[in-house]
Amino acid sequence: MELRHIYRGLGVGLVGGLLAFVFARIFAEPFIQDAIDYESGRDAAQDALGHAAGLGHGHEGAEVFSRSVQRNIGVGVGMAAFGLAIGGLFVVVYLILSRRYPRIRPRVLAALLAGAGFVSLYLVPFAKYPANPPAIGHEETIGDRSALYVTMVAVSVVSLTLAVFAGRWLAGRVGAWNASLLAAVVFLVLVGVAMALLPPLGHLASNKAEYGTFATETPQPLRDAKGAIVYPGFPADVLFRFRFYSVISQLIMWLTIGFGFGALAERLAVAPVRARATRRGLTEAATDRPSATAPAAPSAAG
C-alpha cells in the first residue's frame, strides 16, 4: 500500500513541476529576459564610467550553456526535479499523518497538507525574501542569501508545527474554531518575530557597498561622480510581475500535488472496501441460489 502511495506522490509531483514550468515559461520568462537585458545595459554603463575615470573593466566569461538551453531544458529539468522532490516529501508526510488521523478523508488530508506546505515552505519565506530574476543580485551574496532563505524556511515549518500542536491542545478547552484562530495567531506571531530579527537582503555588506542601505538588493540608479543618474534602477513593474508569476507558478504545482494526490489516494482507500463488498455480494448470491441437485417441489396437481 505504501509503495502505491509513493509512486502516485512522485508522479503528481513530477506533473506539478512540469505544469509549473509551462506556466513560468509562458508568463515569467519574458521578464527574466528583461532582467538580463537590464543587467547588460547596466554593465555597459558601468564600464563606460570606469573607462571615463581611467579604470579598467572586467570581461565576462563565455556562457557554458546558451540562453535558449537555459530557459528551456535547464529550467524545465530543474522544475521537474523540484516537483519530484516535493512530491516525495509530500507523500512521506501524508503517510505519517494518515496513520495518526485515520478518520480524515484522503482528499481532505491531502488538501490540508498541500496548503500547509505551500504556506510554510514557500509563501512565508517568499514574503521575507522575495525572489529576484536570476540576472539580478550580487554573486558575493549568494551564500548569505541562501543561508537566510533556508533559515526562514526552517522557522516557518517549526512555527507551523508549534501552531498545530497549540491548536490541538486548545481545541478541548475553547472549541475547534477558536483553537484554529488562536493557532493562526501563534503562527503569525512566531514568523513575524523571525522576520523582524533576520536582516533584510539590502543590509548585506556587498549590497550596502554597491547601492547603500535599502530593504532589498534590487539595483538602484547608477550615478556618476557628480551624483547624476546615468542608468536607471531596475524597473519596479518588471520585478512585480516576475514575483507575481513566480508565486502563481508555485501555487499551480502545490494545487496539482494536493488535489491530484488526494483523488488518487481516495481511490486507493475506497478500492479495498469495494472489493470486500463485491466478494460479500457474490457470497450472498451463491448462498441464496437454489441447488441444482435439490428435489423439485411437488406440484399442486399431483
Does residue 257 sit in the same domain as residue 170? no
C-alpha dihedral over 178, 184, 185, 189, to 10 degrees?
Answer: 160
- pLDDT at position 302, please? 40
Specify whether 35 is located in the same domain as 164: no
Same domain membership, residue 81 and residue 163: no
With respect to residue 80, please indicate whether it lies within any of the assigned structural domains: yes
How many whole angstroms separate alpha carbon 209 and alpha carbon 249?
33
Per the structure, the count of domains in the chain is 2
Q: What is the pLDDT of residue 215?
A: 82
Residue 193 lies in a domain: yes
Rounded to whole angstroms, the Cα distance separating 116 from 113 reads 5
Q: Tell me, yes or no, whether 1 and 38 share the same domain.
A: yes
Q: Quote the domain boundaries for residue 5.
A: 1-49+70-136+238-273
Q: Give a three-class secondary structure readout of the chain.
A: CHHHHHHHHHHHHHHHHHHHHHHHHHHCHHHHHHHHHHHHHHHHHHHHHHHHCCCCCCCCCCCCCCHHHHHHHHHHHHHHHHHHHHHHHHHHHHHHHHHHCCCCCHHHHHHHHHHHHHHHHHHHHHHHCCCCCCCCCCHHHHHHHHHHHHHHHHHHHHHHHHHHHHHHHHHHHHCHHHHHHHHHHHHHHHHHHHHHHCCCHHHCHHHHHHCCCCCCCCCCCEECCCCCEEECCCCHHHHHHHHHHHHHHHHHHHHHHHHHHHHHHHHHHHHHHHHHHHHHHHHHHHHHCCCCCCCCCCCCCC
31 and 92 in a common domain = yes
Specify the pLDDT at position 73: 85
Asked if 98 and 198 sit in the same domain, the reply is no
Q: What is the pLDDT along the chain (302 residues), one digit of tens a residue?
A: 688 999 999 999 999 999 999 999 999 999 998 998 998 898 888 888 877 766 655 545 555 556 666 767 888 899 999 999 999 999 999 999 999 988 999 999 999 999 999 999 999 999 999 988 887 877 888 899 999 999 999 999 999 999 999 999 999 889 989 999 999 999 999 999 999 999 998 888 878 877 778 888 888 888 888 888 888 989 999 999 999 999 999 999 999 999 999 999 999 887 665 555 556 655 655 566 655 455 555 544 44
109 occurs within a structural domain:
yes
Half-sphere exposure of 101 (CA within 13 A, CB side): 12
In a domain, 61, yes or no: no
**Residue 58 lies inside a defined structural domain of this protein:** no
Q: How far apart are CA 13 and CA 80, in angstroms?
A: 8
Same domain, 15 and 80: yes
143 and 202 share a domain?
Answer: yes
pLDDT value, residue 87: 96
User: Does 42 share its domain with 185?
Assistant: no
- Examine residue 292 and state whether it is found in any structural domain, yes or no: no
Q: Do residues 66 and 1 make contact, with C-beta atoms less than 8 angstroms apart? A: no
Instruction: Out of 217, 248, 264, pick the residue that ends a domain.
Output: 217
Q: Which cell is 39 given?
A: 543587467
Q: Is the model's pTM score more than 0.85?
A: no
Residue 280 is assigned to a structural domain of this protein: no
